[in-house]
Amino acid sequence: MTRTAVITGASQGLGAALAHGLATAGWSLVINARTASDLSAVADALPTTVIAIPGDVVDDDHRASLAEAASKLGGADLLVNNASTLGGSPPPALGDFPLPDLLETFEVNVLAPIALTQLVLPQLRLSEHGAVLNLSSDAAVEAYAGWGGYGAAKAALDHASAVLALEEPSLRVWSVDPGDLRTRLQQQASPGADISDKPLPSSVVPFFLQLLESRPASGRYVA
């Protein structure tokens, strides 16, 4: 039986790499990103059934459309909360962080994943393989100058993941730090820096596929 995954932030980086990995493994997909043209390019290259819906995960109606699309494919078996923002490029120090940008950082990295999880939970509970995969960061557990807003948001998402795992024992809830990768987000964190030595996002996809197949206990993992 074909399994279905909802992946946010799937137009580039790790989100796109995960979409390709899951599609190749036979999953049907509902994918999201803010840039319609980039999302369409990813969707066109996927060898599977895919519903691509451009939009912002902080928008209530957009999140509802993602959940509805998954339902039309038979219901979600996996939710991947990957969409993220730093709050600036480079991300500002906490003492100078514009509050509207800090609010957006928490809306994208914490509120939106929780809100989308709420919508998709009824489908996940019906699945034999129901799982929530929240993308974390080492900045959630280590203090790095300039990463306060993003790190605090990811730490909050980690904690929310742990609580959800207790509240939903029939599901798997994983928070995964994928490591430093060669992504647009990493480049935005260090404008002008050479990040060519960072691994490509595709390098960690086998870890995630193995995670889904072996289904270890809910918790925090490092790819």
Domain boundaries, the chain: 4-212
Written as six digits, the tokens of 134 are 């929240």
Q: Is the pLDDT of residue 1 over 80?
A: no
What's residue 144's pLDDT?
A: 94
19: Cβ–Cβ under 8 A, 6 or more apart, which residues?
A: 7, 10, 29, 31, 42, 46, 50
Predicted structure pTM score = 0.96
**pLDDT tens, 12-29?**
999 999 999 999 999 999
Q: Average model confidence (pLDDT) for the chain?
A: 96
Query: Residue 188 has what pLDDT?
Result: 87
**Model confidence over 123-161: pLDDT tens digits?**
999 999 999 999 999 999 999 999 999 999 999 999 999
**Whether 117 contacts 76, CB under 8 Å:** no
Tell me, yes or no, if 221 is annotated catalytic.
no
Average pLDDT over residues 80-88: 96
Amino acid at 49: T
* Paired tokens of 107: 């809306």
DSSP of 101-169: HHHHHHIIIIIHHHHHHHHHHHHHHHSTT-EEEEE--GGGTS--TT-HHHHHHHHHHHHHHHHHHHH-T
pLDDT for 76: 98
Domain 4-212 -> CATH class = alpha beta
CA pair distance 57, 10, nearest whole angstrom: 12
- How confident is the model over 167-195, as a mean pLDDT? 92
What's residue 146's pLDDT? Answer: 92
**Using an 8 Å Cβ cutoff, are 63 and 57 in contact?**
yes
**Statement: residue 63 has pLDDT above 90:** yes
Helix%, strand%, coil% for the chain, nearest 5:
50, 15, 35
Please tell me which residue in 27, 97, 147, 150 is annotated as part of the active site: 150
- Using the predicted structure, report yes or no on whether residue 189 has a pLDDT greater than 90: no
Mean of the pLDDT values across residues 206-217? Answer: 98
pLDDT in tens, 109-127: 999 999 999 999 999 999 9
